[in-house]
């Protein structure tokens, strides 16, 4: 997998899924904000109903795709899986964000079910969803910064691999 075309394709898939995840999270946050600001119950229920498919058909698949493409890319390129600290930080942050997202899916489905069945509906946990989405976007922004700037810092394993390569050359 050292072909430049394969590396570029992996990078493209990773960037598209990551940017898509950020955009879907922004749409989710916008709908939650609209639900919180709505002056009537019907508008609130409509916004709550819209966040469930965004979660299941955009956010979750894009989060999993971002995680998977990032893992494949780290294993298939010279950046390596544990050679650079920034790669490890991105992986940990992405795993954290994905885990929180998956744990939160039940709450979203419960809110959507309440919107489908209730006349008035108690949507008190919507504020928490706005916090979830906002913090998630912050974490995704941080992973983007790490990927763009690639701060220096090689792990001991990475340092050893660099010196082995120099010795072999």
What residue spans define the domains of the chain? 4-168
The whole-number average pLDDT for the span 134-158 is: 92
What sign results for the dihedral spanned by CA atoms 117, 120, 124, 127? positive
Q: How confident is the model at residue 136 (pLDDT cuts 50, 70, 90)?
A: very high
Q: Is residue 169 predicted with pLDDT exceeding 80?
A: no
Helix and strand element counts for the chain (H, E):
6, 0
The per-residue pLDDT for 12 is: 96
pLDDT digits (tens, 9 = 90+) for 4-43: 898 899 999 999 999 999 999 999 999 999 999 999 989 9
**pLDDT tens-place string over residues 42-88:** 999 999 999 999 999 999 999 999 999 999 998 888 778 888 899 99
pLDDT reading at 138 higher than 90: yes
Q: What is the pLDDT of residue 107?
A: 93
With tokens 């998977």, the residue in question is 68
Q: Do residues 136 and 100 lie in contact, with contact meaning Cβ atoms separated by under 8 Å?
A: yes
Q: What's the pLDDT band for 119 if we cut at 50, 70, 90? A: low
């Amino acid at each position: 997998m050292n072909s430049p075309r394969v590396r570029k394709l992996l990078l493209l898939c990773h960037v598209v899924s990551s940017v898509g995840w950020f955009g879907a999270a922004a749409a989710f946050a916008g709908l939650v904000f609209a639900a919180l600001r709505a002056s009537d119950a019907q508008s609130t229920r409509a916004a709550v109903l819209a966040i469930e498919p965004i979660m299941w058909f955009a956010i979750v698949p894009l989060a999993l795709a971002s995680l998977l493409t990032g893992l494949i890319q780290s294993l298939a390129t010279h950046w390596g899986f544990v050679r650079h600290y920034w790669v490890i930080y991105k992986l940990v942050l992405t795993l954290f964000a994905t885990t929180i997202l998956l744990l939160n899916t039940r709450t979203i489905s419960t809110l959507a079910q309440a919107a489908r069945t209730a006349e008035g509906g108690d949507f008190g946990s919507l504020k928490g969803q706005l916090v979830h989405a906002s913090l998630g976007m912050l974490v995704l922004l941080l992973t983007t910064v790490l990927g763009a700037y690639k701060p220096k810092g090689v792990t001991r394993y990475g340092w050893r691999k660099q010196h082995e390569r120099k010795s072999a050359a």
